[in-house]
Amino acid sequence: MSEGAAKKEDKPRKFQAIRGTRDLLPPETALWNRVEQTVHSVFATFGFGEIRPPIFEATELFARAVGGETDIVSKEMYAFEDHERPDLAALRTTIAYRNPDVLNAWSVRLYIEQVNEFVRAFEDAIEKREIPATPDNLRALDDLKNQVPRASMIGTDPASNVHITGGFDPIIAGIRELLRAIQFGDVITLRPEATASVCRAYIEHNMQQLPQPVKLYYIGPMFRRERPQKGRYRQFYQIGAEILGGTDAPAIDAEVIEMVMTFFDKLELQGVQLDINSIGCRDCRPKYVELLRAELLKVKDKLGPDSQRRIETNPLRVLDSKLDSEQTIIAKLPHIADHLCEDCATHYAAVKRQLELRGVLYRENWRLVRGLDYYMRTTFEITAAGLGSQNAVCGGGRYDGLVELLGGPPTKGIGFAIGEDRLILSLQESEKAQSRVTSHQSLLIYIAWMGQNAHATAIRAAKDLRNAGFSVELPPVEQKFGKALGQADKLGARFALILGDNEVAEGLWTLKTLADGSQQKLTEQDLLDFLRKL
Ligand code: ATP
Ligand code: MG
């Protein structure tokens, strides 16, 4: 290796955020905080309380709730086995995957000893509940105990092992298979969405015994292994709300939509467009889906491969297609609105009336479908300006069957999830949001002090100003006034508070307005009064 190459290797690796994740930094995080403060205040006025579910849950929860057919479950989940005994799991890997080619009689004996040792530790760990006592694991333990010969039965001389019919190979193969089937922990997943968690919590904490409906909202990161692009990340943030229990009165659907629209309004989000649809219920939707499938089969060869596949797996998703060549074909397909059962049609009409009563503007979009099985009746999506093709900032709908599907009592449910990253992107596009954030920051006061006496006064002044709610920068070491003022300028401070020997002696402080360079002398009390009036 040349010297140059060696030097290169010594350099520590430069770490970067994982693909699809990013750091949210100031000043942008101030906007995130403003958005989240608005969530707390607006949602509270609609009677919602905050829930903070864990970031990971049993994989099965998402598989069941979101559905195995969806992109999320079939390919986007961050799932892993959660171990309490990584040591045993590692030992299993060593034994189960070791190259078996060169097992002569002696090493078979060692191998079997090792397996026996593993089985004892495995049994012990199951007893101590460090490894889950699933039926599969108990069976594996039983079979291992029965199938693994004792090492003492194996002679060191190959000739003495003729009593082991068929040789060692099938025995070892059997052991390896059993070992590989062991599950050392639960398979868990970083949540790709939070509706499943909220429903799980509703059941787990017997919330059906509370006054119904229960109204909950959450804010937090979600994880999906998607192709990263503008407005699409692998760790992204959602703001969501769910109403569980009580009735499915159309006023509930309308009010939850009204809440999102009020929230967007408060933020002055631009170009907000609400699309709504009804996708029927367990009674009427299957009939529509069959009709759709029949119609799609007639035009199958004019469709792209994705849509062709979806004719079988999920014909509704064809309506989602963005492919140019399919648009005229899709336009001629039957509309679900014409095939709703009487109850669903009545419900949908009432939701629209309820939205009108609330002054919420909507557009009916018969092609709006939610891909998940548990969705029914009301579905909605909201788009906003400045986002390109990833312009959906909110998706939601009714999911009356979900709690029951997760083992709870029959429960009505409706909710939505807002993509916070996209919401922020859209707000950033509009200058209003930007200037509001910077105006917050420009309240900064930079204290330019010189001399030890002045330092003591500056420390006290900083404490008082901060207690009064102002943002203060107090330099840790003495600086010449010129340098201090330059620094204050660079930081975008609005004022410099100048404290030198004169100021301290007179008890009159100099406040410099950096924008115009004007100065005034104030007592400490007058200074506070002056700043408070701004
Ligand atoms: P899309 O069709 O844009 O992929 P989706 O139907 O997968 O959206 P939902 O699961 O309904 O989205 O999530 C609700 C909202 O969360 C979306 O409208 C979007 O704003 C946001 N969202 C979803 N996936 C991502 C992601 N990977 N990155 C950023 N935001 C996302
Ligand atoms: Mg998606």
Token pair in block for residue 375: 């969705």
Is the per-residue pLDDT at 161 higher than 70? no
> Any idea which of 46-50, 86-90, 244-248 has the lowest mean pLDDT?
86-90
**Quick one: pLDDT at residue 456?**
95
In the prediction, which pLDDT does 173 show?
A: 84
Is the pLDDT at 433 greater than 60, yes or no? no
Is the pLDDT assigned to residue 523 strictly greater than 80? Answer: yes
Q: What are 323-351's pLDDT values in tens digits?
A: 899 999 999 999 999 999 999 999 999 99
Q: For 270-302, what is each residue's pLDDT tens digit?
A: 999 999 999 999 899 999 999 999 999 999 999
Neighbouring residues of 403: CB distance < 8 A, sequence distance ≥ 6: 199, 202, 203, 244, 409, 410, 411, 413
Tell me the residue type at 378.
T
* Both structure tokens of 3: 């010297």
* Reported confidence tier of residue 399, pLDDT bands at 50, 70, 90: very high
Cα separation, 271 vs 310, in Å, equals 32
For helices 420-429 and 431-441, the axis angle rounded to 10 degrees is 90
Q: Report the separation in Å between the CA atom of 194 and the middle of ligand 2, taken as the mean of its atom positions.
A: 14
Strand partners, 396: 380, 416
Q: Which of 316, 394, 398, 423 to mutate to test the pocket of ligand 1 (most atoms within 8 A of CB)?
A: 394
**Region of poorest pLDDT, from 95-109, 352-366, 402-416:** 95-109
For residue 392, how far is its CA from the centre of ligand 2 (angstroms)?
10
CB neighbours of 176 closer than 8 A, spacing ≥ 6? 95, 96, 97, 100
Tokens of 147: 């199938």
The verdict on the CB of residue 236 being under 6 Å from ligand 1 is yes
> Which of 353, 208, 328, 189 is CA-nearest to residue 276?
353
Q: Who's near 397: CB < 8 A, 6+ residues apart?
A: 279, 370, 375, 376, 377, 378, 379, 380, 414, 415, 416
In this structure, how many other beta carbons lie within 10 angstroms of the beta carbon of residue 306?
13
- Determine what percent of the chain is predicted with pLDDT higher than 90: 72
1 pLDDT higher than 50: no
- Cα 298–299–305 angle (5° rounding)? 125
| Average pLDDT in the chain | 90
Q: Which atom of ligand 1 is nearest to the CA of 224?
A: 27
Query: What is the structure's pLDDT at 174?
Result: 87
CA distance 457 to 471: 17
How many of the other CB atoms lie within 10 Å of CB of 14?
A: 5
Q: Does 403 score more than 80 pLDDT?
A: yes
Which of 473, 479, 472, 475 minimizes the C-alpha distance to 450? 479
Nearest C-alpha neighbor of 269 from the set 394, 396, 397? 394
474 has a pLDDT exceeding 50: yes
Q: Is the CB of 191 under 6 A from ligand 1?
A: no
